[in-house]
Structure formats: C-alpha cells, structure tokens
C-alpha cells in the first residue's frame, strides 16, 4: 500500500451546482478534475466527494442530490436528516483527515456544506486554498475563514485554478523530487544502491 505524504479534501457547493443544466461545463464543478490531474503526480491522497458519495451512499452526487431535493420538496425533513447525516459526518471526517483543503466557492451557488467543512478546518487549524468566483458578492466572513484557518489563501481572477495549483505545488512539493534524487544519487555514489 502506498504511503502518501499529504491528504487533501476537495470542497465546493456540489449539491446546488448539479441541478444546473450543463453543470459539467461549469468551472465550479470541473475544477476538481484539473486539480486531480495536476496533483496526482505528487505524493498525495485526494479525497473528492464526487467519488466518495458513490462509496458512502451508493449513488452519484447527482442522483443523491436529486433524492434529497425530492424529500425537501415534499417536506420529509426528518427522513432527509437521517439520509444526509452519514454523508455530512463522513465529509467532516475527511476534512479532519486532511493536511489542507482545496475548494471552489461561487457566489451564485449556496455553499452551506462547504461552510461547515471550512468551519471544521478552521477548528482543526487546517489550511484551505479556495478559488472564488464572484468575490464581490462573497461574504467577508468566508475570506476570514480561509485566511485564519491554518494559513489558507483565496484565489480569484481568470487564472484562479492554475494559480491555486501552482501555489500548492510550490508550498508542498517544490524540491521534493530534487531532494529524493539527491538522496538516491548520494547512496548510488557510495555503492549502496
């Protein structure tokens, strides 16, 4: 089994985004694939709720969100709470297991679950690196949560996803491969390997 140096959890307003027609094309949804693609070359475990939902409840995020929507619509809140509680508890467990969070906040989509996850990160002093779309409509409270939780950082603008990935790579992985190669070379010269 591979031992990973870091673990991260991806946070975003998933349940409100998957109801939007064409959501797969929205950056607030698909940023996760760019993050995963960029960071998988490093020694990191990436926990993504789009994958974890299938494990936790046996449904995709889209299907599980549709079930929850229907229960809200007919006022079955007690059953909804019973259905969603294991998911929210698992998500908070993933936050606590992380060295840092990577996320995307969009001013046009509710972020209640994400706020709970960021609050948990703040309580645990886990940094959060959050890309923000519509920053002028975002609460200053969110900015405070990002910056005062373990040294997190917000990313805005056209290149926010790329800038966030670059920041994480520089902060956590810069020199890591070079150092490993130097260690291997050191012992190769000594004839040990």
Which domains are present in the chain? 6-189 (3.40.50.450)
Query: Would you say residue 93 has pLDDT above 70?
Result: yes
For residues 85 and 57, the answer to whether their CB atoms sit within 8 Å is no
Query: Would you say residue 1 has pLDDT above 60?
Result: no
14: which residues sit within 8 A by CB, 6+ positions away?
29, 49, 50, 61, 65, 113
Query: Would you say residue 113 has pLDDT above 90?
Result: no
C-alpha span between 54 and 91 (Å, rounded): 13
Looking up tokens 């936790």 gives 56
User: How big is the chain by its Cα radius of gyration, in Å?
Assistant: 19
3-state secondary structure of 103: strand
Q: pTM of the entire structure?
A: 0.83
More confident of the two residues 181 and 32? 32
pLDDT band at 60 (very low <50, low <70, confident <90, very high): confident
Distance, first Cα to last Cα, the chain: 23
Strand bridging mode 100-106 / 153-155: unpaired
% of the chain at pLDDT higher than 70? 91
Write the pLDDT tens digit of every residue in 144-186. Answer: 999 987 889 999 999 999 999 999 999 988 866 566 667 777 8
8-28 burial, b if ≥16 CB within 10 A, otherwise e? bbbbbbbbbbbeeeebeebeb
């Amino acid at each position: 089994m591979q031992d990973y140096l870091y673990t991260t959890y991806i946070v975003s307003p998933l349940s409100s985004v998957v109801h939007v027609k064409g959501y797969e094309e929205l950056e607030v949804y698909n940023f996760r694939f760019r993050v995963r693609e960029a960071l998988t070359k490093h020694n990191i475990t990436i926990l993504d709720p789009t994958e974890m939902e299938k494990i936790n409840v046996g449904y995709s995020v889209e299907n599980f969100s549709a079930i929850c929507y229907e229960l809200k619509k007919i006022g079955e809140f007690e059953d909804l709470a019973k259905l969603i509680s294991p998911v929210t508890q698992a998500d908070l467990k993933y936050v606590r297991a992380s060295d840092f969070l990577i996320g995307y906040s969009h001013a046009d989509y509710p972020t209640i679950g994400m706020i709970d996850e960021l609050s948990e990160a703040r309580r645990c002093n886990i940094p959060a690196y959050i890309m923000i779309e519509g920053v002028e409509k975002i609460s200053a409270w969110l900015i405070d949560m990002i910056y005062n939780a373990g040294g997190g950082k917000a990313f805005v603008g056209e290149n926010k996803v790329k800038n966030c990935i670059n920041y994480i790579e520089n902060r956590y992985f810069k020199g890591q491969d070079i150092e490993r190669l130097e260690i291997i070379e050191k012992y190769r010269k000594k004839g040990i390997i």
